[in-house]
Amino acid sequence: MAIYFISDLHLEPEQKAITNGFLSFLDSLDHTENSPNYAEELYILGDFFEVWIGDDYSNKYIELINQALRKCADKGTKIYFMHGNRDFLVGQTWCNNAHCELLDESKLITRGGESILLMHGDSLCTDDVEYIKARNMLRNPQWQAQLLAKPIPERIEFAKQVRNESKESQKGKSYDIMDVNQNAVNEALTSANCSSLIHGHTHRPSIHQWNFENEARTRYVLGDWGDKGWFIKWQAGSTLKLKSFDI
């Protein structure tokens, strides 16, 4: 049995190569009964969509993605979805349509005696005070309810505004400020009583290993999809493997 983790696809109709890469990735998952590579679970750890303005908005592109996820789920893969900073408005209605289970913003999973903490990763970027302040507002349930009550055209314009402001804001920030804070990482792992973390968000695929209070810890960072697609594969009794493929 195998478990897969992906994040930061930033799917949108204009990104045809990435979209086709994702559809091919789903088709490539092994659903052969009793195969050691059988795709038992797929975790989508945020920023799956480039933007999401509410479950009440749909189009042919969204339905294409939904159909692909449903097809994969119907073959036997359990699919989990975690919010990112782009698609935090995804709700239960969409998850039901796509045959996904909606997760909290952090999730501890244990398989074969091994535990791993899953996060999108943006909440760990505590050095970026401006971003964390904006994140707290965007994740506020009352604020979200007010936004979702607005007409769809107004929400579309708001999403464009936020994207433009985000791009402008990043131009003046250093590389380090937009990365995770090591203390925040250690606090999250200690709180979860866990030594391994998988996250995305930073678009810096890598595997980091260090010691904290005499405990060996590992942080697996998923990459964003562009020229390459990124995923982590975890099989029982084996180490986690960060992999990529050309798109």
Is the alpha carbon torsion for 60, 61, 64, 66 positive or negative? negative
Q: What is the pLDDT of residue 172?
A: 67
Q: What's the confidence (pLDDT) of residue 7?
A: 99
What integer pLDDT is reported at residue 169 of this predicted model? 75
2-246 has CATH 3.60.21.10 classification: yes
- What single string gives the DSSP state of each residue in 108-170? EEEETTEEEEEE-SGGG-TT-HHHHHHHHHHT-HHHHHHHHTS-HHHHHHHHHHHHHHHHHHH
CA distances from 240 to 44, 96, 191, 197 (A): 16, 29, 22, 11
Looking at residue 166, its pLDDT comes to: 77
Dihedral sign computed on CA atoms, order 74, 242, 185, 224: negative
Contacts of 193 (CB under 8 A, 6+ apart): 115
- Which segments of the chain have a pLDDT < 50? none
> What was the pLDDT predicted at 113?
87
Distant-in-sequence, close-in-space partners of 245: CB < 8 Å, separation ≥ 6: 21, 25, 228, 229
- Give the Cα separation of 202 and 230 in Å (integer): 13
Task: Report how far residue 7's alpha carbon sits from residue 47's, in angstroms, rounded to the nearest whole number.
Answer: 6
Instruction: Note the pTM of the prediction, 2 decimals.
Output: 0.96
Q: Where along the chain do its domains lie? A: 2-246
